[in-house]
Amino acid sequence: MKTNKRLSAKSILLLLLSMSLVLVTACSKGDSSSSGESGKDENGNYKDKLKISVASTVTVKDGDMDNEFHKYWMDKYNIEWDYNFVEWDSWGEKLRLWINSGDLPDVAVWDYVHGDAMNYIDQGLLYKFPDDWKERWPNVAKAYSLTGLGDKLEELTGGTYILPRPVYFENKPADPLTNQIGVIAIRKDWAEAVNFELKDAYTTSELMEYARLVKEKDPGKVGSKLVPISYKPDDVLTNIMMPNSAHSRVESAFYKGEDGKYKWGPADPETLTGLKLVQEAYKEGLLNPEFYTWKSSEASNNFRVNGTAAVMSLGGLASYRQDVDKDMKKNLNLNSDDVVHTAIVLGEDGKYRNLEQVNFWSALIFSPDISKEKFERVMDLVDFSVTEEGQMILNMGFEGTDWKYGENKELISLLPEGTSVGDKYPGRFEGLYLLGDDFSMINPAIKQEYRDTAVKHYQNKAKFGKEGGALALYDWDVQLYDSKAKNQATFNYAEEYTNLILQDGDLETNWKKWVESKQSLVQPVLDELNNLKK
């Protein structure tokens, strides 16, 4: 039926008004939780349930959230998580996109880059903490003060925008503290079979000698699948380049030389020494012919999953060693204690090189649009998480169920032999602030032997580093210096070195040409740094 009824002016106005109201409501942030009240009832429980988005690199698979552990944190803080898993390989990239586009989740773990941090703070892309936060969340403040970076950033920016994550809090394993990287694992049974001596530290040449013996004798009978040294480009940088040139990495490339002038490490002769060793290893077939295509865990999987590698990069945490143990048992039906030996790597001159470890790694950041109530709720959680009780729950599970105190107050795990709290409660991302490195030193769920070995490596690193070593010191002047030139002179060294050793022709000539080609970007940074203190 056709109608010719026309709407009156009033009804059109009303319709438009209601439509605009709908639009305004739909387009507004709709955060009903930004009341700014303490958010707790008379019993101290949180009144409103808050949905909080969080991003971190902890893998959380489907179903991982359905356990007592996650329920505990959600109930305690009356929150519902909107978890965003970030792959290691795209971590920096994804966070950059989120931060710059204003899409940062409420709270995120960020791979701290100083230049970016200064830019973001300058542009208002990160949440500014209230001035009294240290009084309100004293446990966080205590851990924060150990990082060093927090105070330095406050001096530069006049406030707190970032929570650098402390590596060690109560259980520092050595002094000076070195970076955990630079620990390798070798097949102990193969070493014994080819009469290769087991030691706590090897030079690169010694490791290559071992790899040659394995390649020649193939003690594991793995045939053409054998990878004597299973490194990806990043591992090559850590375990061949760095032991020979402490300033060959992006973290330490610009450094103050003995003459007080700033230098660029990749142009040092030590870097050429490292490159020569890498090329030798590649040409002899000790590295895989296509190691440069490997990403994530492809290289280490040859050792721990496929059982086809003689050497892999491991890292210094006891938990890493425990993971190898589990992987080998599961995939190769091998007891890793019988087949794995770990060691640190020295330079060809016998000196030990690594990065001096400042006590932070990555940072916790908040969206500039986070509501006050959500921010406070997360900070309450973080504050509890760094307390002894919080750490015990995060790292051990629940007292009486997953662990107990022994007669001498020692920690006893109640988990089935060979399992960890990670197996029972996977994806424990709630440990947002304090890194697991600290607790892994005393975690009874990790075999005592692995913990002792981890401490031994840290102590050896410190000892060798002090006694004639060449640790790359953490230079706050360089690290906190930010300029367009410095940002432009940031290179992917693992990729650059790989490309150099694969090029045809004389390596030294190619390296010199490469150094020369980078000067238009490097020299302005050196000039700026050298003029810094004038």
Which residues here bind other proteins, judged by CB under 8 A? 92-93, 96-97, 100, 102, 113, 115-116, 119, 122-125, 233, 288-290, 292-293, 484-485, 487-488, 490, 492, 494-496, 498-499, 502-503, 517-518, 520-521, 524
Closest distance of CB 116 from other proteins, Å:
5
Shortest CB 435 distance to other proteins, Å: 24
Whether residue 443 contacts residue 451, with contact meaning beta carbons closer than 8 Å, is answered with: yes
- Closest CB 233 distance from other proteins, rounded Å: 6
If the CB atoms of residues 260 and 505 are measured against other proteins, the closer one turns out to be: 505
Closer residue to other proteins in complex, CB, 132/290: 290
Numbers of helices and strands, H then E, in the chain: 24, 14
- Closest separation in Å from C-beta 277 to other proteins: 17
In the block, which residue shows the tokens 């995120």?
A: 108
Nearest approach in angstroms of CB 55 to other proteins is 16
Q: How far is the CB of 235 from other proteins (least distance, A)?
A: 13
Nearer of residues 447 and 518 to other proteins, judged by Cβ: 518
Cα–Cα distance measured from residue 147 to residue 139, given in angstroms and rounded to the nearest whole number: 13
Minimum CB distance to other proteins, residue 288 (Å): 8
For residue 112, give the nearest of 348, 282, 293, 364 by alpha carbon: 364
Please tell me the distance from the alpha carbon of residue 307 to that of residue 498, in angstroms, as a whole number: 25
Residue 218 or 496 having the CB closest to other proteins: 496
Exposure string over 470-494, b if 16+ CB within 10 A, otherwise e: bbbebbeebebbbeebbeebeeebb
User: Please, which residue, 173 or 274, has the CB nearer to other proteins?
Assistant: 274
Whole-angstrom Cα distance, residue 23 to residue 9?
21
Adjacent-strand bridge partners of 230: 312
Q: Going by C-beta distance under 8 Å and a sequence separation of 6 or more, which residues neighbour residue 194? A: 210, 213, 214, 217, 219
- Structure tokens, 20: 């605009």
In the bound complex, what is the minimum distance in angstroms from residue 72's beta carbon to other proteins? 37
Look up residue 176 and give its amino acid.
Answer: P
- Within 8 A by CB and 6+ apart from 351, the residues are 464, 468, 469, 470
Residue closer to other proteins by CB (options 96, 424) is: 96
Determine the residue type at 13.
L
Q: Where are the beta strands (DSSP E) in 173-287?
A: 183-187, 201-203, 227-230, 254-256, 262-264
DSSP secondary-structure letter at 472? B
Q: Which is nearer to other proteins, 170 or 482 (CB)?
A: 482
At closest approach, how far in Å is the CB of 193 from other proteins?
25
List the structure tokens of 48: 């409103």
Query: 93 or 349, CB closer to other proteins?
Result: 93
Nearer to other proteins, 435 or 522 (CB): 522
Nearer to other proteins by Cβ, of 33 and 510: the residue is 510
Residues pairing with 109 in the sheet: 364
Smallest gap, in angstroms, from Cβ of residue 512 to other proteins? 15
Nearest Cα neighbor of 243 from 273, 266, 267 is: 273
Helix axes 493-502, 507-530, angle to 10 degrees: 150
Task: Name which of 239 and 395 has its Cβ closer to other proteins.
Answer: 239
Nearest approach, Cβ of residue 284 and other proteins (Å): 16
Closest Cα to residue 216, out of 195, 232, 198?
195
Q: What does the chain come to in residues?
A: 534
Give min distance, CB of 509 to other proteins, in A: 15
* 3-class secondary-structure state, position 362: coil
Residue 78 near residue 45 (C-beta atoms within 8 A): yes
Q: Give the single-character DSSP code of 355.
A: B
Nearer to other proteins, 109 or 522 (CB): 522
